[in-house]
Structure 1
Amino acid sequence: MIVLITTRGHGYTLGSINKGTFGVPTPPFRRTTYDRMFRRFRAPRATYVFADLERLSPFELSLAADLYRALTAAGFRCLNDPARAMSRVELLVALEAAGINPFGAYRADTAPRPKRFPVFLRSEQDHVQAADTLYPDQDTLDAALVRLRAAGTPLRGLLVVEQAAEPYAEGRWAKWGTWRVGDHMSVDHIAVDDTWLVKYGDHAKVTGAIAEDEHDAVLSNRFAEPVRRAFDIGGIAFGRADHGSFGGRPVVYEINTNAYLGRYSNHKNPLRAEAHRVARTRFAEALEAIDSEGGGSVALPATPLRRPLAWWQIGFVGPKRP
Structure 2
Amino acid sequence: MIVLIVTRGNHYTLKSLADGTYGVKTPKFRITHYERLFGAWRVPRATYIFGDLERLAPWELRIAADLYRAMKEAGLRCLNDPARAMSRVELLTALERTGRNPFGVMRADQDPRPKRFPVFIRSENDHAKPSARLYHDQQELEAALRELPGLNFPLRGMLVEEYAAEPYGDGLWAKWGTWRIGDAIIVEHIAVEDTWMVKIGDHAKVTDAVAEDEHDAVATNRYAPPLREAFELAAIEFGRADHATVGGRTVIYEINTNPYSGIFVADRRPIRHKTQQIARGRIADALAAIDTIPTGTASLAPTRLRRPIRWWRPGFVTPRRP
Mapped to 2, the partners of 1:97 and 1:235 lie a distance apart of 16
Show the counterpart of 1:159.
Answer: 159
Show the counterpart of 1:88.
Answer: 88
Q: Tell me, yes or no, if structure 1 residue 186 matches structure 2 residue 189.
A: no
Show the counterpart of 1:209.
Answer: 209
Deviation at 1:303, TM superposition (A): 1.7
Deviation at 1:308, TM superposition (A): 6.4
TM-score, normalised to structure 1, is: 0.95
Counterpart secondary structure, 1:252:
strand
Show the counterpart of 1:258.
Answer: 258
Show the counterpart of 1:223.
Answer: 223
CA displacement 1:177-203 (0-9 Å, x = unmatched): 000000001000000000000000000
Deviation at 1:175, TM superposition (A): 0.1
Deviation at 1:152, TM superposition (A): 3.4
> Does the 8 A contact of 1:177 with 1:187 survive in 2?
yes
Quickly say closer, same or farther: Cα 1:308–1:41, change in 2 above 3 A.
farther
> Does the 8 A contact of 1:120 with 1:163 survive in 2?
yes
Mapped to 2, the partners of 1:215 and 1:2 lie a distance apart of 29
> Does the 8 A contact of 2:101 with 2:251 survive in 1?
yes
> Does the 8 A contact of 2:119 with 2:163 survive in 1?
yes
Show the counterpart of 1:148.
Answer: 148
Show the counterpart of 2:72.
Answer: 72
Quickly say closer, same or farther: Cα 1:317–1:150, change in 2 above 3 A.
closer
Mapped to 2, the partners of 1:317 and 1:295 lie a distance apart of 30
Mapped to 2, the partners of 1:226 and 1:160 lie a distance apart of 25
The root-mean-square deviation of aligned C-alpha atoms, in Å, is 1.3
Deviation at 1:244, TM superposition (A): 0.2
> Does the 8 A contact of 1:106 with 1:161 survive in 2?
yes
Show the counterpart of 1:196.
Answer: 196
Counterpart secondary structure, 2:26:
coil
Deviation at 1:83, TM superposition (A): 0.3
Counterpart secondary structure, 1:260:
coil
1:243-282 equivalences under 5 Å are 243-282=243-282
Mapped to 2, the partners of 1:255 and 1:247 lie a distance apart of 21
Show the counterpart of 2:319.
Answer: none
Deviation at 1:149, TM superposition (A): 2.2
Show the counterpart of 1:4.
Answer: 4
Q: Which runs of 5+ in 2 are unaligned?
A: 317-322
Deviation at 1:153, TM superposition (A): 2.0
Q: Which runs of 5+ in 1 are unaligned?
A: 310-314
Mapped to 2, the partners of 1:114 and 1:49 lie a distance apart of 36
Residue type of the partner of 2:45?
R
> Does the 8 A contact of 1:302 with 1:308 survive in 2?
no
Mapped to 1, the partners of 2:244 and 2:311 lie a distance apart of 44
Q: Tell me, yes or no, if structure 1 residue 113 matches structure 2 residue 118.
A: no
The alignment of Structure 1 onto Structure 2 pairs a total of residues equal to 314
Deviation at 1:306, TM superposition (A): 1.5
Residue type of the partner of 1:118?
P
Counterpart secondary structure, 2:13:
helix
Residue type of the partner of 1:120?
F
> Does the 8 A contact of 1:122 with 1:131 survive in 2?
yes
Show the counterpart of 1:312.
Answer: none
Counterpart secondary structure, 1:228:
helix
CA displacement 1:63-106 (0-9 Å, x = unmatched): 10000001001110100000000001111000101111000000
TM-score, normalised to structure 2, is: 0.95
Deviation at 1:151, TM superposition (A): 3.5
Mapped to 2, the partners of 1:169 and 1:51 lie a distance apart of 34
Q: How many percent identity over aligned positions? A: 61
Deviation at 1:172, TM superposition (A): 0.3
CA displacement 1:100-154 (0-9 Å, x = unmatched): 1000000000000000000001110111100000000001000110111233321
Mapped to 2, the partners of 1:138 and 1:160 lie a distance apart of 11
Mapped to 1, the partners of 2:285 and 2:99 lie a distance apart of 32
> Does the 8 A contact of 2:122 with 2:130 survive in 1?
yes
Deviation at 1:317, TM superposition (A): 6.4
Quickly say closer, same or farther: Cα 1:191–1:297, change in 2 above 3 A.
same
Mapped to 1, the partners of 2:255 and 2:17 lie a distance apart of 21
Q: Tell me, yes or no, if structure 1 residue 17 matches structure 2 residue 17.
A: yes
Mapped to 1, the partners of 2:306 and 2:21 lie a distance apart of 37
